[in-house]
Amino acid sequence: MKLRTQNHRGRSTKLLLLLLAIAILCDICIAESSDGDTHIKEGLDSVVWVVQLSDLHFSVHHPNRALDFAEFVGPALSVINPSLVLITGDLTDGKSKDLLTMKQNENEWVEYRSVLDTVIGRSGLDKSLFFDLRGNHDSFGVPFVGCPSDFFSKYSISGQLGRNGRVNSVTVETKERKHLFVGFDSTMSTGLRGPTNLFGHPTDQLLKDLDLKLSEWDSQSEKPVTKISFGHFPLSFSAPSISGRTLEDVFLKHSISAYLCGHLHTGFGVNLKRHHQLSGHFSPLQKKIQFNIHQRSFESTVNCSMGDTPIQDFWEWEMGDWRKSRAFRILAIDRGHVSYVDIDFKSGTKPAIILPTFPLDSRFMITSSCRHNYECKPVLPSSYEKIRALVFSVAPVASVVARIYDSKSGNLDLVLETHMIRHADENTTGDLYLAPWNYKAFEDASPDRYWLQIEANDSAGRSTLTELRPFSINGLSLKLSWSWKEFMVMGCQWAALYYPIFWSALYFFFLFLLFPKALLVFPKKRYTYKNFIVNKGLVNGVLWLLQELCRINTLWFGWIAYLFYLILSPWFMGQVFNEGENMVYMTYMGWAIENSNGEGKLEYVGSPDIIVVVLPHLLYVVLPAILVTGALTAERAIFREHVLAFLEKKKDDLRMDSRKTVLNDHHSSIVSNVHLCKRWIRKLLCVVCLAICWKHFMNCRTLLKAYEMNPVLHFLGYGISVPFLLANAIIKTRNAG
């Protein structure tokens, strides 16, 4: 294999000749090219495999993360011997013990460098094969790259090796094809503290560089090229550039095979995969929301007419996290077929790892080109005639068996069991096992009729089984659905949804308050409790509730003023960087930071990242607070009607001329009794008010610690407005009058 990296180094002729001589003696050739260094290794002609790790979150408060990494990863890499090791962000945690303060901690970075040096030493791999990237945790509070708190540039492998660009690429070349890996850092150039540092922010320049790197071999290579990109953020958590261009646009243009990422962690689900495809028929909503893993099913028929090409598409594979799940991924490219296996080290070392490379899993690995190539191009027997799998074992492998099951009957019936033979290659760096089969016998219109499982037994008598994987030899894809949590984090383009949701919520609140007031003032149409009793209905009930709120002017004007405050004024001020004492303010558009060009102009940074502050406040604090305020005023109206009805009944029973004094004496006691015994709804609403205030104060506590605010100087308007309005509502609705 040839490994091409994009790091330009100058070497003298004498040094180059010396290195070449040493390399020849070791069966490794190192040569200079215009693209950078080229490393040539002997290995399998058809298969390349790499390892991906993500979200390590090394923390001074959780030392086991680094200890386990040093214990398990180094030995695993020495057995697997990958071509590359990709570490896709969040190398350190950058959080305080209570998880509320988020900024860089140099001790964590020193530990990261030390642990990685240990792992590299134990793996036997060259340091240049490791590529690590920034994640959002690695940029918490870092105002610019190269500042004193930018520990990534000092302690990361990429920083130590001088990979200073936002985009880096490496090419692994075999005799049959090239494999281009392009990694990029899309963290925000002005790194805010968390929690408002959550999204990737690719710039137009980054997208241009990424486009250039992915097209590197388009006009230079006679061999086919498989393209893989890797970064930290899923595309659902990546904002468009200023021009509106997205990472998805670039990936579809180049029809990459897969995009590898992290960020989300396994807690959101195990099916954090997404299939993207190019289509001019998607509605604006479909471009913002994807409801299933597949955006749409592949066509039932394939058009093989002259010039017809497969749909441009690619897979996005989020891998989980080392932080809690101890996740570890091996990805292989076998004759252009891309597959992977995810394992974890929560239970310790694995005696063996098996990665089937063909046939592909029909749930997560089939692309439109698989169907198109099978139907429209001459089938190359070398690509289909064998079941293929990589086996990495600590002990010598005694046997490998492939089994295929047929699920047509509703059960898994064994239809093929065959021994796999190790690929005969004296120079192999891993174990590729093959088993001949009649692939045409497994053609079927169903993508999940046939299931593959491979078992490996080692010399110590230990057995390792893969999970059952459905496959479709003719390239059909099995359509799967996400769980609701998986849909929320993978299917929604939050950068595109933030402003529509924000303004929809504000419009709803204004409509909620202004429409009943307009009915009350202009047509003078009044909705009362008596009217509601006579003409019951949802509309009458809602309008009556809201008009009761409108009748208490201090409450109504208070909420209108607060909504305008959220739109027109800063919400609060805070310290968003590790360095300096300057406090900056946040609005619904982001944090107002001075422009980096020194002109003193303000630019808003951190949108849509502030979605984690803005939308929970609107949906979980403001909305229920307005509703409970209306409910309190409605309960007051009901109470008033009950009191009046009770008094009218008493008046009918008493003689006005002889019992007037008694009636006056009983009036206050009647009201008091009804107030104490019948207003249990009000008591319940007061409890709801307390719950809303508790939720609000917990949010405020998080922000106070995260951005080192003074609650009086920097937080007063945002902090006390909602509790003040709720307290005012409780006071104003206390009496029936």
The domain ranges of the chain are 34-291+310-349, 350-486, 494-655+676-733
> Cα–chain-centroid distance for residue 565?
31
According to the model, what pLDDT value does residue 305 have?
A: 63
Residue 175: per-residue pLDDT: 85
- Bond prior to 516 in cis (omega within 30° of 0): no
Residues of the chain with pLDDT under 50: 2, 4-42, 298, 306, 426-429, 655, 657, 659-660, 662-663, 666-667, 670-677
Q: What whole-number percentage of the chain has pLDDT above 70?
A: 81
> Is there a contact between 583 and 575 (Cβ–Cβ < 8 Å)?
yes
Runs of H (alpha helix) within 53-124 = 64-80, 106-123
Instruction: Give pLDDT, residue 675.
Output: 47
Mean residue pLDDT of the chain comes to: 85
* SS3 category, 602: strand
Closest CA to 142 of 110, 112, 109, 175: 109
Q: Residue 322: helix, strand or coil by DSSP?
A: coil
CA 294 to chain centre: 17
- What per-residue string of b and e applies to 104-142 under the rule 16 or more CB within 10 Å gives b? bbeebbebbbebbebbbebbebeebbbbbbbbbbbbbbb
At 286, list the tokens: 């479909």
pLDDT of residue 712: 86
With the CA atoms of 116, 120, 123 and 126 taken in that order, what torsion angle do they form, in degrees rounded to the nearest 10? Answer: 150
For residue 313, what are its two tokens?
């598409």
Written as one string, the DSSP assignment of 324-385 is TT-EEEEEEEETTEEEEEEEE-TT---SEEEEEEESPBTTTT--HHHHHHHHHSPPPHHHHS
CB burial string 591-607: b at 16+ within 10 A, e below: bbbeeeeeeeeeeebbb
And the tokens for 87?
Answer: 């570490």
Q: How far apart are CA 581 and CA 594, in angstroms?
A: 14
CATH number of 350-486: 2.60.40.10
The Cα 619–Cα 621 span in angstroms is 6
Cis peptide before 195 (omega within 30 of 0): yes
pLDDT at 387: 96
Cα separation of 346 and 311, whole Å? 39
Q: Considering the entire predicted model, what is its pTM?
A: 0.88
Q: Tell me which residue of 559, 554, 533, 553 sits closest to 544, measured CA to CA.
A: 533
Fold of 34-291+310-349: Purple Acid Phosphatase; chain A, domain 2 (3.60.21)
Judging by DSSP bridges, how do beta strands 386-393 and 431-436 pair with one another? antiparallel
Q: Which residues contact 296 (CB under 8 A, 6 or more apart)?
A: 277, 279
Integer Cα distance of 587 and 571 in angstroms:
6
